[in-house]
Amino acid sequence: MQNALIHHIQKFINLELSEIDLLESCLAISRIKKKDHALQEGQICNTMYFIAKGCMRQYIINSKGAEQTLQFGIENWWITDYLSYHNHTPSSFYLQAVENSEVIALDKTVLESLLIEIPNLERYFRIVTQKSFGAMQMRIKFLFTMSAEERYHHFNDHFPEFVQRVPQYMLASYLDFRLNL
């Protein structure tokens, strides 16, 4: 399953055989059971999670005590709290498995060593982060311009299989249905 990450990396950069060997020796699969947390609010996030199988989400508890899903991640996505990760500050978020998931949890120290050993990985992470940022720009556009119902239809049209995978209350909060229901 760590091959899922190596396969993903090779979509963006070339890896030498020795680099693949090194990656294989460092990457381990962790299993996170459905509803278990990889990160709780207030903890410092020192880990980036590559989702090899399953589904994770980033959420907050809002002022009414309700869970508010901000982001989902499925196969081939990275999920983390980047501000906490970079600034070493307590996280504002929860990271939780929506399904039984298999992730590659890369601790900062391991990742920093890998980036020194395989500098080309910087390119991989630069590109996937820029693409994720682009997706987030579209997400903000949709939050501003579509009604919750329009967001639901748009989401269902583009990700019909995903809509079947997640509990509807999580999807409703992700699409910000509080405004319209």
Q: Smallest gap, in angstroms, from Cβ of residue 133 to its own copies?
A: 5
Q: Smallest gap, in angstroms, from Cβ of residue 141 to its own copies?
A: 6
Q: Is 88 in the site for its own copies (CB under 8 A)?
A: no
Q: How many residues bind its own copies (CB under 8 A)?
A: 42
**Full 3-state SS string of 50-106:** EEEECCEEEEEECCCCCEEEEEEECCCCEECCHHHHHHCCECCCEEEECCCEEEEEE
What is the Cα gyration radius of the chain? Answer: 17
Instruction: Pick between residue 1 and residue 83 the one whose CB is nearest to its own copies.
Output: 83
CB 36 within 8 A of CB 96: yes
- Token reading at 32: 């996170």
Q: Is 46 in the site for its own copies (CB under 8 A)?
A: no
Q: Is 49 in the site for its own copies (CB under 8 A)?
A: no
Per CB under 8 A, residues contacting its own copies are 58, 60, 62-63, 68, 70-71, 81-87, 92-93, 115, 119-120, 122-123, 125-127, 129-141, 143-145, 176, 179
